[in-house]
Amino acid sequence: MLTAAVSRVLSGVTQKPASRVLVASCKYSNNATFEIKKCDLYRLEEGPPVTTVLTREDGLKYYKMMQTIRRMELKADQLYKQKFIRGFCHLCDGQEACCVGLEAGINPTDHVITSYRAHGLCYTRGLTVRSILSELTGRRGGCAKGKGGSMHMYAKNFYGGNGIVGAQGPLGAGIALACKYKGNNEVCLTLYGDGAANQGQISEAYNMAALWNLPCIFICENNRYGMGTSVERAAASTDYYKRGNFIPGLRVDGMDILCVREATKFAADYCRSGKGPMLMELLTYRYHGHSMSDPGISYRTREEIQSVRSKSDPIMLLKDKMVNNKLASVEELKEIDAEVRKEIDDAAQFAMTDPEPPLEELGHHIYSSNPPFDIRGANQWIKFQSIS
DSSP 255-296: T-HHHHHHHHHHHHHHHHTT---EEEEEE---SS-SSTT--S
Ramachandran region, residue 152 (left: φ > 0; alpha: ψ -120 to 50; beta: rest): beta
List per-residue pLDDT tens for the chain, 388 residues long: 444 444 443 333 334 344 444 444 458 999 999 999 999 999 999 999 999 999 999 999 999 999 999 999 999 999 999 999 999 999 999 999 999 999 999 999 999 999 999 999 999 999 999 999 999 999 999 999 999 999 999 999 999 999 999 999 999 999 999 999 999 999 999 999 999 999 999 999 999 999 999 999 999 999 999 999 999 999 999 999 999 999 999 999 999 999 999 999 999 999 999 999 999 999 999 999 999 999 999 999 999 999 999 999 999 999 999 999 999 999 999 999 999 999 999 999 999 999 999 877 877 877 777 766 665 556 766 666 666 5
**pLDDT for res 8:** 41
Strand stretches in the chain, DSSP E: 31-35, 40-42, 51-55, 111-113, 188-193, 216-222, 225-226, 229-230, 249-253, 278-283
Is residue 287 within 8 Å of residue 255, measured between CB atoms? no
Residues in a beta bridge with 282: 221, 252
**pLDDT for res 360:** 77
Angle subtended by helix axes 330-353 and 314-324, to nearest 10: 150
Closest-CA residue to 194 (of 254, 257, 276, 271): 254
> Which value, to the nearest 10 degrees, does the dihedral of the CA atoms of residues 280, 286, 292, 293 take?
90
Closest-CA residue to 148 (of 157, 156, 160): 160
Q: Report the alpha-carbon angle 204-196-283, nearest 5.
A: 115
Q: Report the alpha-carbon angle 31-36-39, nearest 5.
A: 145
Query: How far apart are the C-alpha atoms of 222 and 18, rounded to whole Å?
Result: 38
- 329: CB partners within 8 A, 6+ apart: 15, 16, 17, 18, 20, 27, 28, 323
**pLDDT for res 362:** 75
Which DSSP symbol is given to 148?
S
pTM of the model: 0.90
SS3 call for 90? coil
Burial bucket for residue 117 (CB in 10 Å: 0-12, 13-18, 19+)? buried
Residue type (1 letter), 73: E
**pLDDT for res 154:** 96
Query: How far apart are the C-alpha atoms of 202 and 194, rounded to whole Å?
Result: 11
